[in-house]
Amino acid sequence: MQLMKPVRPVGIIGYGAYVPRYRLAGQAISELWTAGNTPPPVREKAVPGLDEDVVTMSIEAARNALARAQAADPTFDPAQLGAVWVGSESHPYAVKPTSTIVAEAIGATPYTQAADWQFACKAGTEAIQAAIGFVGSGMARYALAIGMDAAQGRPGDALEYTAGAGGAAFILGPSEHALVEIEGSVSFVTDTPDFWRRQHEQFPEHAGRFTGEPAYFHHITQSVRALFAQMGLSATDFAYAVFHQPNVKFPLKVGEELGFKRAQITPGLLVNEIGNAYAGSALIGLTAILDIAQPGERILLASFGSGAGSDAFCLRVRRSLPTPHVWTTRTYVDRRVPVDYARYARLKENYIL
């Protein structure tokens, strides 16, 4: 086991979030399918508009990241992005990259690497790992990594309560201009089939309670403990921790197992308000923390992707930067238009015409 650390220091130059504005209350789902007898695992979840998908949400998060990068480094130009990588499990096309559309929309084309990443809910942190290597090795000066999802859950299934939408974009670059330095990371993966979606299927399947202990908890605790061991750190060295958020309970529980206090976790815990944004879940939590974090503070980021694996990162804030012209994560979260189940079904196109 080895700590992943690039040859030259790499940091986050800019970051940006996106959450669509519609919200469906968990209670509405409970009432429709279980006569209100199921306590919803989250209060409400974000739902994309009819004109939104992973492409459009990624473009907006990327534009927010560009705006912050330009504030951090006035010489930054999107044409310098050596990679545009989008991690998601709801790419609008089965074949045709999301990333080329995003790259075109933000002015990163044509001399750039573009690819879509897929690893269930950790596709976004996969892209960040790769971007760290890309920048850290000197192959690119800057790389854009996005985790974004318009999550799917079968109507009536447990996943329907939490399958939310949103995500975040990060521009990785040399740490001298960075807002945040990435001190090291660990990836931990095994073949653990807790959740999957077969080709041509609309909704994912899951293995019920098997998704908990052997999947979520095992992989996150292993990756984080390895990171702690390699870096000689423990939970008390971190101001904040953000985990993949399939519901409210899991991230709090896994944090507790790892020695974190609730106060370290709640600033990045958005699942109760926007649901589980799958590949965007942990990453948008991180942006909420970055909006408030102070220089010198450490942040633990640990994703979980079914299938299964966890990426754990140790981040340290270098400087905070006022960017009032860029939407904060809280602004997106608070921008909410509640919808009933009928409107939700229309927005999700879960009806037959």
Q: By the criterion CB under 8 A, which residues form the site for other proteins?
A: 21, 49-53, 55-56, 59-60, 92-93, 101, 104-107, 324-325, 327-328, 331-332, 334-337, 349
Angle, vertex CA 42, rays to CA 34 and CA 286, nearest 5: 155
b/e string for 210-240 if b means 16 or more Cβ within 10 A? ebbeebbbbbbbbbbbbbbebbebebeebbb
314 is catalytic: no
Please report, for residues 157, 189, 220, the alpha-carbon distance to residue 193 in angstroms, rounded to integers and kept in the order given: 18, 11, 15
State which residue, 193 or 338, has the beta carbon closest to other proteins: 338
Query: Residue 58 and residue 65: Cα distance in Å, rounded?
Result: 10
State which residue, 220 or 274, has the beta carbon closest to other proteins: 274
State which residue, 7 or 351, has the beta carbon closest to other proteins: 351
Give strand pairing partners of 172.
12, 143
State which residue, 220 or 333, has the beta carbon closest to other proteins: 333
| Catalytic pick among 91, 206, 218, 244 | 244
Instruction: Provide the minimum distance between the beta carbon of 101 and other proteins in the complex, in angstroms, as a whole number.
Output: 6
Instruction: Provide the minimum distance between the beta carbon of 176 and other proteins in the complex, in angstroms, as a whole number.
Output: 28
Query: Could you tell me how many residues make up the chain?
Result: 353
Give strand pairing partners of 302.
243, 312
Instruction: Provide the minimum distance between the beta carbon of 229 and other proteins in the complex, in angstroms, as a whole number.
Output: 40
Residue 191: which residues within 8 A CB-CB, separation 6 or more?
307, 308
Residues 211, 20, 107, 176, CA torsion sign: negative
β-pairing, 298-302 with 240-243?
parallel
Instruction: Provide the minimum distance between the beta carbon of 349 and other proteins in the complex, in angstroms, as a whole number.
Output: 8
State which residue, 60 or 311, has the beta carbon closest to other proteins: 60
- Closest by CA position to 290, among listed 54, 17, 88: 17
Tell me the residue type at 3. L
- Cβ atoms of 218 and 241 within 8 Å: the answer is no
Please report, for residues 9, 98, 283, 291, 304, the alpha-carbon distance to residue 288 in angstroms, rounded to integers and kept in the order given: 24, 25, 9, 5, 18
State which residue, 93 or 256, has the beta carbon closest to other proteins: 93
| Catalytic pick among 52, 60, 121, 273 | 121
89 is catalytic: yes
Three-state secondary structure string covering 46-70? EECCCCCCHHHHHHHHHHHHHHHHH
| Catalytic pick among 44, 52, 89, 273 | 89
Instruction: Provide the minimum distance between the beta carbon of 333 and other proteins in the complex, in angstroms, as a whole number.
Output: 9
State which residue, 208 or 324, has the beta carbon closest to other proteins: 324
- Tell me the catalytic residues: 89, 121, 244
